[in-house]
Amino acid sequence: MKALHWMLSALIALIAWGEVRGADPNSAHPHQGIVEPFLGPPTPAPLDADQLRALAQGETILTTLEGDRGGRGIAIQDIRATSDLVWDRIAAFDEYPGMVDYVVECEPYLANESDLRVRFVLKILGFRYEYYIRHDFRPDRGYITWTLDYARESDLDDSVGYWAVQSHPEDPGQSRVFYSIDMRTRGWMPGIVRRMIARQGLRGATGWVKREAEILQRNRNQALEVDVHE
């Protein structure tokens, strides 16, 4: 769930690999959270006329705020698919390696009602990067939030974020998706590189969901057309 911290963490692996202790499912994370988590349903900021116009033209709205070791970002994207299909793709963790760049392993290891925990592994330029995410999974209420699973040690220092999916206000057959993340990496990276990767990661986070959900929507529409003509 999470192209921004996938790409940022991958770059940190290249720049400061020697500072990373390595993920360990048998050890607790060094802390219990240094970034304030998102609790309950997120409240995305209202959109102005220019942003609404950009969304209608298929653009992604991006906002980033970077610090020395990470930062917060939000991406907003309109998707030509119903919200149930958008959630189908977001929740398809086992399929992430085939859908999301750099993700080579992705497996849920605990599912207890809304508590869903997933192990992610990415690989780029030969480096392997692993972390554990604990989701508060509530698609019936239109959102999912996450933090690291602090019971396990991750290669990220910290990560919190959310997905929020709404029916499009003008077309219930489409969706408006909000993706936000606030993360911290271990080590330091140049500001210009951090900003570039942050924005590309945000765009990619909603981009793959848009691509995959719209494929499902087209397949559904084609199946309905076949049923009508039979």
Domain holding 171: CATH number?
A: 3.30.530.20
Q: Which residues of 106-116 are buried (b: 16+ CB within 10 A; e: fewer)?
A: beeeeeeeeeb
140 vs 18 pLDDT, higher one: 140
Per-residue pLDDT, 18: 43
Give how many domains the chain has, as a whole number: 1
- pLDDT band with cut points at 50, 70 and 90 for residue 184: confident
Query: Which residues share a beta bridge with 122?
Result: 103, 129
Query: Which residues share a beta bridge with 150?
Result: none
**The whole model's pTM is what?**
0.84
What's the burial of 175, exposed, middle or buried (CB within 10 Å: 0-12/13-18/19+)?
Answer: buried
Q: Residue 17: pLDDT above 50?
A: no
Per-residue pLDDT, 197: 54
Taking residue 131's Cβ as centre, other Cβ atoms within 10 Å add up to 24
Percent above pLDDT 70 for the chain: 78
Average pLDDT of span 96-110: 94
Alpha-carbon 195 to chain mean position = 17
Query: Which residues share a beta bridge with 119?
Result: 107, 132
Q: For residue 103, what are the domain limits?
A: 3-229
Concatenated DSSP letters of 40-89: SS--PPPP-HHHHHHHHTTPPEEEEEEETTEEEEEEEEEESS-HHHHHHH
Q: Residue 173: pLDDT above 80?
A: yes
Q: Which residues contact 111 (CB under 8 A, 6 or more apart)?
A: 117
| Whole-number average pLDDT of the chain | 84
Cα(222)–Cα(37) distance, rounded to whole angstroms? 41
Cα(12)–Cα(4) distance, rounded to whole angstroms? 12
Q: Residue 32: pLDDT above 90?
A: yes
Among 6-20, 115-129, 171-185, name the most confident range: 171-185
Half-sphere exposure (CA, 13 Å, Cβ side) for 32? 0
Cα(29)–Cα(41) distance, rounded to whole angstroms? 26
Average pLDDT of span 13-26: 64
CB 122 within 8 A of CB 137: no
Nearest partner of 200 among 3, 2, 9, judged by Cα: 3
Average pLDDT of span 129-148: 96
For the stretch 47-98, pLDDT in tens is 999 999 999 999 999 887 655 555 578 999 999 999 999 999 999 999 999 9
Structure tokens that stand for 169 in this block:
């206000």
